Amino acid sequence: MFCKILSGGVTGIQAGFVWVEVDMDSGLPSFTMVGSLGNEVRESRERVGVALKNTGFSLPASRVTVNLAPADRHKEGTGFDLPIAVGLLQAMDYFPKEATEGILFLGELGLSGELKKVRGVLPIVRAAKEAGIRECIVPAENAVEGAVIPGICVRGAENILQIVDCLQEGVDRERILPRTCVDRNRIMADTGEPPLDFAHVCGQQTAKRGAEIAAAGFHNLLMVGPPGAGKSMIAKRIPGILPPLLEEECLEVTGIYSVAGKLEDGQALVTRRPFQSPHHTITQTALIGGGKRPRPGLISLSHRGVLFLDELPEFSRDVIDALRQPLEDAVVQVARLDGNIVYPADVMFVAAMNPCPCGFYPDRNRCQCTQPQILRYRGKISGPILDRMDLCVELKAVEIQNLQGGRAEESSAKIRARVEGARMLQRTRFAGTMYRFNADIGAADVERFCALRAKEKKLMEKLYESMGLGARGYHRILKVARTIADLAGEEWIAEEHLLEAAGYRLV
Ligand SMILES: [Zn+2]
């Protein structure tokens, strides 16, 4: 008796289909599994055998072969337990062969036959929908995650018995395993509790202006200032002034969280821009991704959002240097024996550091650091990383007037309104291209999208000489100036925009 059950797996964040083929014949009793399997998949044999026994289905004394096709693709994870169990039960005639046609099965089995949450349900259901498959049966805990994809029926099951019941001939499936429904529009509209507000940050106008420009053009931002000046307060408020995620971006970000197993229970979609702020003891693998069983790192969990490294020089040199490539390419490449895995990593990189080891330089009343100490401290951050910072702002210690409730600070809502205005201009500008924000403009297109008039060209020539810019620095100033002009609603980049952008270069 031979049968075939459809399932799926992910490589990186790409979903692929897997056919679970089960063959049972009268040879010496054995159970063999083949098809380029990782450890978790091999262990499936034990889990499935015991789960079936404990739910009252004993395997017959026959020779069982399970093949996961295509054999040339490496398979990982625990999601094949369910399709293997369904295949065995079908080979044992517990339900008709047609019953499983057009259905994709995915889920891990516990020893008592209950279904457990797996990773990657969203991308797999999405691929199933695109391939014209009409139904997916997944663990109940994953059901909402799959159900955000319209046009495909997703059912969540608690245990294997429910699935056997619903595959019987002539039963009302909808009664046994009702289709999971989520209201995608309601989820998209629900942005949760209000994010932290800029209205609570006293003073620091330069840094706030820097954060606004960074948010408007998705530029990287470095903040330098003494402890307690509000660097991390500002960083944490940046997601609140970024334009909301588009629906397609929500799906993309949720797919990464799904693969990483980071969706919260019952969470169908990530609708807010991610904000990740790792501790400085983080390892390179945890930040960048990869590992023995590859997972997206924190940089990919910050995709389309903010990755914030506080106290940048405290991070290990290796970790900082490992950021170079992803920040440049907006993707992470993890080398594997069977080919590279690519994780998206289009982040707004925000970093903060003290100006010296004690934090109070150049206030010589408080700072006793020697010049070599200061240089060594700053030297921990390599040039190539500093080169990727589009804007650099300096913060001063908060002055007493700012704390005594002098002036009302601008709210995040007001700042976001300007950022969204700038975003609209960029969407029009980049229609039909792969760019989303000014920060994305490639070197070859800078001249086209950041065109200058004669007077401004002259100014840039002067700046190029006096600041010793180089091509990369020159382009960065143009792109930041483009964003400043967008915030002002100006069609042309003017001298004042260029001068302001140049002022954010690291000194
Ligand atoms: Zn110092």
Distance 356 CA to ligand 1 centre (A): 5
Range of lowest pLDDT (75-84, 125-134, 329-338): 329-338
| Contact of 222 with 351, CB cutoff 8 Å | yes
| pLDDT confidence band for 380 (50 / 70 / 90) | confident
For strand 63-69 and strand 14-25, is the pairing parallel, antiparallel, or unpaired? antiparallel
Same domain, 170 and 242: no
Gap from CA of 214 to ligand 1 centroid (Å): 28
- Are residues 379 and 235 part of one domain? yes
- Residues 163-184: pLDDT tens digits? 999 999 989 999 999 999 988 8
pLDDT at residue 382 greater than cutoff 80:
no
Domain limits at 277? 198-436
Separation between Cα atoms, residue 345 and residue 85, nearest integer Å: 37
**CA 374 – ligand 1 centroid, Å:** 7
Same domain, 383 and 501: no
pLDDT at 361: 87
CA of 500 from ligand 1 middle (Å) equals 28
101 found inside a domain: yes
Is the pLDDT confidence value at 194 over 70?
Answer: no
Instruction: Return the sign of the alpha-carbon dihedral for residues 403, 405, 411, 414.
Output: negative
Under DSSP, the state recorded for 51 is H
- Quick one: 240 exposed, middle or buried, by C-beta within 10 A (0-12, 13-18, 19+)? buried
Q: In angstroms, what is the span from residue 314 Cα to ligand 1's centroid? A: 15
Q: What is the reported pTM?
A: 0.92
Q: Is residue 462 part of a domain?
A: yes
Task: Extract the tokens encoding 322.
Answer: 């490992």
**pLDDT at res. 405:** 61
- Find the mean pLDDT for residues 232-243: 94
Say if residues 99 and 167 touch (Cβ distance below 8 Å).
yes
CB 165 within 8 A of CB 155: no
Q: 220 alpha carbon to ligand 1 midpoint, in Å?
A: 26
User: Is 317 in the same domain as 355?
Assistant: yes
CA distances from 310 to 205, 231, 258, 296 (A): 20, 8, 27, 21
Statement to judge: residues 27 and 98 lie in one domain: yes
Whether the predicted pLDDT of 278 surpasses 80: yes
The answer on 177 and 38 residing in a single domain is yes
Distance 381 CA to ligand 1 centre (A): 17
CA 373–ligand 1 middle distance (angstroms): 8
Do 298 and 379 fall within a single domain? Answer: yes
Distances (CA, A) of 280 to 21, 245, 283, 314: 47, 28, 9, 6
pLDDT at 505: 84
Q: Which two tokens stand for residue 335?
A: 């080398």
C-alpha 371 to ligand 1 mean position (Å): 9
Residue 307 forms beta bridges with which residues? 276, 349
Say how many Å lie between the CA of residue 365 and the centre of ligand 1. Answer: 10
Higher pLDDT pick, 334 / 106: 106
Q: How far is the CA of 396 from the centre of ligand 1 (A)?
A: 14
**Predicted confidence band at 480 (pLDDT cuts at 50, 70, 90)?**
very high
How far does residue 378's CA lie from ligand 1's centre (Å)? Answer: 12
Pull the structure tokens for residue 249: 């971006």
Q: How far apart are CA 376 and CA 341, in angstroms?
A: 36
Q: What are phi and psi of 373, to 5 degrees?
A: -60, -45
Is position 190 within any domain? no
* Centre of ligand 1 from the C-alpha of residue 228, in Å: 14
Give the C-alpha separation, 20 to 85, whole Å: 10
**Distance of CA 369 from the midpoint of ligand 1 (Å):** 4
Cα–Cα distance measured from residue 140 to residue 86, given in angstroms and rounded to the nearest whole number: 17
Cα 386 to averaged position of ligand 1 atoms, centre (Å): 21
How much distance in Å is there from the Cα of 364 to the middle of ligand 1? 8
Are residue 401 and residue 445 in the same domain, yes or no? no
Q: Is the dihedral of CA 320, 501, 371, 357 positive or negative?
A: negative
* Percentage, residues of the chain above pLDDT 90: 77
What lies within 8 Å, CB to CB, of 382 at 6+ separation is: 317, 320, 321
| Residue 430 DSSP label | T
Per cent of the chain over pLDDT 70 is 97
Determine the distance separating the centroid of ligand 1 and the alpha carbon of 226, expressed in angstroms.
9
Cα of 357 to ligand 1 centre, how many Å? 5
Q: Is the four-CA dihedral 133, 137, 141, 147 of positive or negative sign?
A: positive
397 Cα: distance to centroid of ligand 1 (angstroms) = 14
pLDDT digits (tens, 9 = 90+) for 205-235: 999 999 999 999 999 999 999 998 999 999 9
Task: List CB contacts of 14: < 8 A, sequence separation 6 or more.
Answer: 123
Chain-centre distance for alpha carbon 114: 30
In this prediction, residues 2-16 reach a mean pLDDT of 94
Same domain, 420 and 468: no
Distance 355 CA to ligand 1 centre (A): 7
CATH number of the domain within which 238 lies: 3.40.50.300
The label of the residue with tokens 């289709």 reads 179
Specify which residues 115 forms β-bridges with: 109
Contact call for residues 220 and 307 (beta carbons, < 8 A): no
pLDDT score for 147 = 95
Comparing 267 with 481, the larger pLDDT belongs to: 481
Residue 104 belongs to a domain: yes
CA 229 – ligand 1 centroid, Å: 15
CA of 353 to the centre of ligand 1 (A): 12
* Cα 205 to ligand 1 centre (Å): 24
Domain membership flag for residue 188: no
The Å distance, Cα 402 to ligand 1 centre, comes to: 24
Q: Of 436, 454, 481, which residue constitutes the final position of a domain?
A: 436
What is the pLDDT of the chain when averaged over all its residues?
Answer: 92
Distance between CA atoms of residues 477 and 455, nearest Å? 16
Q: How far is the CA of 323 from the centre of ligand 1 (A)?
A: 27
Which pLDDT does position 400 carry in this prediction? 66
Residues 496, 484: Cα–Cα separation, whole Å:
9
Domain match, 458 and 425 both: no
Tell me which H or E stretch contains 45. Answer: helix 44-54
Q: Are 8 and 15 in contact (CB under 8 A)?
A: yes
Q: Is residue 189 part of a domain?
A: no
Q: Are residues 390 and 452 in the same domain?
A: no
Sheet holding 30-34, edge to edge: 30-34, 63-69, 14-25, 2-11, 103-105, 135-139, 153-157
* Paired tokens of 439: 């920060």
Q: How confident is the model at residue 340 (pLDDT cuts 50, 70, 90)?
A: confident
Predicted local distance difference test score (pLDDT) of residue 402: 67
Name the domain boundary from 413, 436, 459: 436
Last residue of a domain, one of 157, 182, 207: 182
C-alpha of residue 311 to centroid of ligand 1, in Å: 14
Query: Does residue 158 sit in the same domain as residue 204?
Result: no
Please count the structural domains in the chain. 3
Residue 187 lies inside a defined structural domain of this protein? no
For residues 393 and 206, give the distance between their C-alpha atoms in angstroms, rounded to a whole number: 7
Among residues 310, 309, 311, the alpha carbon closest in space to that of 322 is found at 309
Enter the tokens of residue 230: 């509000």
Length of the chain counted residue by residue:
507
Query: Contact 123/198 with Cβ under 8 angstroms?
Result: no
Above 90 in pLDDT, residue 363? no
Structural domain includes residue 390: yes
